[in-house]
Amino acid sequence: MSRLKVPLVLALPAAAGLAFLTLPLAGLLIRAPWSTLPERLTEPGILAALRLSLVTATIATAVCLVLGVPLAWVLARADFPGRRLVRALVTVPLVLPPVVGGVALLLVFGRRGLLGGWLDATFGVSLPFTTAGVVLAEAFVAMPFLVISVEGALRGADARYEEAAATLGASKWTAFRRITLPLIAPGVLAGGVLCWARALGEFGATITFAGNFPGRTQTMPLAVYLALEQDADAAIVLSLILLVVSVTILAALRDKWVTA
């Protein structure tokens, strides 16, 4: 297939758009303290933020998988009144400002919230400003990425295999576990990776709902925000780590999202 020659009227704004997206990243690489990078990567504050970010993002992704895959199946396979409304509600966190999401979580899971007061009085569980609160905030903003990806994979999968399994006596759970999940495994993997990346980079909902306490709720994005006022080089190092993670994820998903 022959490629069209790009007209100048399109080439110039395209080049400007590319520069707009890449120059900030280039500035990050240029200003990085490469000579002291190994020492900075081993600083306790950076290691603590990195460790907490990796742990909470992984747990949040696991929560999203447990809740999001069944939700995606219901949206893709079930026919019930209000399905479009449910799908719209699922995607709200994608467009909702993260800080607003954090406020909403406080109103529900705070000590005086709709559920938080009951959890505190009944089980002595308080979620705000805890590591569990970080996981909850990250899962809230990241789950739509998983649901959308898995729902798309389910809609693209051939439902006749599930119907054939049902005619052979397989239960719905058996058909889902033995037939559906292997068919949509690439979509689940892609959605899980995107979900994990979104959870790793979450800032607004986390700082609003969980606070910014080193070693307990201070994830890498929060550490970057704090370091900007105290140690710019530390902020750059943390930003580089997040950049490397993002590039790695894009490279891993290249065959799925990028075509020649």
- Report pLDDT digits (tens) over 62-75: 999 999 999 999 99
- pLDDT higher than 90, residue 231: no
Under DSSP, is residue 102 helix (H, G, I), strand (E, B) or coil?
helix
pTM of the model: 0.87
CB-CB contact of 202 with 221 (8 Å):
yes
pLDDT above 90 as % of the chain: 44
Q: What is the structure's pLDDT at 2?
A: 57
Assigned token pair, 95 = 């467009």
Average pLDDT over residues 100-108: 94
pLDDT band at 158 (very low <50, low <70, confident <90, very high): confident
Range with the largest mean pLDDT of 29-33, 89-93, 166-170: 89-93
pLDDT band at 254 (very low <50, low <70, confident <90, very high): low
pLDDT band at 132 (very low <50, low <70, confident <90, very high): very high
Q: What is the structure's pLDDT at 260?
A: 42
Average pLDDT over residues 169-173: 79
pLDDT band at 259 (very low <50, low <70, confident <90, very high): very low
User: Rounded distance, CA 217 to CA 191, Å?
Assistant: 25
Indicate the class that CATH gives domain 39-257: mainly alpha
pLDDT digits (tens, 9 = 90+) for 209-223: 999 998 899 999 999
CB-CB contact of 239 with 31 (8 Å):
no
**Those residues with Cβ within 8 angstroms of residue 108's Cβ, 6 or more apart along the chain or in another chain:** 114, 115, 116
Q: What is the structure's pLDDT at 252?
A: 72
Burial class for 42, CB neighbours closer than 10 Å (0-12, 13-18, 19+):
exposed
User: Rounded distance, CA 214 to CA 231, Å?
Assistant: 15
